[in-house]
Amino acid sequence: MRPRANAAAGCGCADQASVVTMTASTSGMPSTTVYSPYFSYSSPSSSIVDSPTSSPGPRTSMAYRLNKAKPQLIQDEIADDWFQLLVVTTLLNKASGVLAIPTFREIIRLWPTPSLMANAPMQRLQEMLNPLGLSATRAERLVSLSQEYLLDPPTSDKMRRSRIPNYPGTPISHLPGAGRYALDSWRIFCGPADEWQHVNPTDKPLRKYLIWRWAINGFVWSPESGVVNEITAEDISQLLSCADEQQPCTRTAHSPLCRSYKAS
């Protein structure tokens, strides 16, 4: 287990205008402090809204609704456990979440730690992985990951060189299965407070999550352009419309924010 470096945005905050300070980077983030009238602020890593258990006032009602529209990803749920995050990203690679996540939960129920999984019966592990395909390869990878995790466990104070060219180092980069998807997931959900702001993932659910997370922090973001501008009430309304899976979005053709969200 490793302590989570950063809680996801969405906590209750002080009733004052949001202030988000970003440093310039190639991802297009603003380099100045920006004030948004639609959000409240407590810290650079978790800024906005009223608590989900409190009644939102008129000024924060759309921010409250946006907070409730947060994309639900398994990485967010298990971000406190780096080993389990590596396991689930290994299973989600080239497999649908509908199959991979129930399989992950069953495997982790039996072997929740690297020491237990390193000694898991290979035949039993392969049987559980059959629905995902490539069961022998996946089983070997999980056992190898577990063994390496025990031999050289990741720590937050030791960055490892990534095998991906020009990709930033992370504490988990040396481990088997630490490809782009796993590393992006770690940086978004487990990294230092502002690390998620420097990630531009290729995975569509991760992109959708970042569109939401930038919005909850007061900015419009797209994978193509990075941070575009400070978010407005109209942007929030458009994003909520596009995030509503119960009805088709009619704004996609008119809104760059909706186009980015629907494409993710």
pLDDT digits (tens, 9 = 90+) for 44-96: 333 444 344 445 454 467 677 788 789 999 999 999 999 999 999 999 998 99
The residue out of 189, 221, 238 marking a domain boundary is: 189
Q: What pTM was computed for the model?
A: 0.76
Please enumerate in sequence order all residues whose Cβ is within 8 A of that of 128, keeping only pairs 6 or more positions apart, or say none: 103, 106, 107
Domain boundary, last residue among 134, 154, 189: 189
3-state secondary structure of 41: strand
Domain assignment of residue 149, yes or no: yes
Q: Residue 144 corresponds to which tokens in the numbers above?
A: 């190898």
Residue 157 lies inside a defined structural domain of this protein: yes
Is residue 58 domain-resident?
A: yes
Q: Are residues 84 and 155 in the same domain?
A: yes
pLDDT tens sequence across 165-187: 999 999 999 999 999 999 999 99
Domain boundary among 158, 189, 220: 189
Which of 33-42, 116-125, 217-226 is predicted least confidently?
A: 33-42
Strand partners, 20: 34
Mean pLDDT across the chain:
80
What does residue 33 show for φ and ψ, rounded to 5 degrees?
-75, 135
Is there a single domain that holds both residue 142 and residue 100?
yes
Domain of 136 in residue numbering reads as: 80-189
179 secondary structure, DSSP code: -
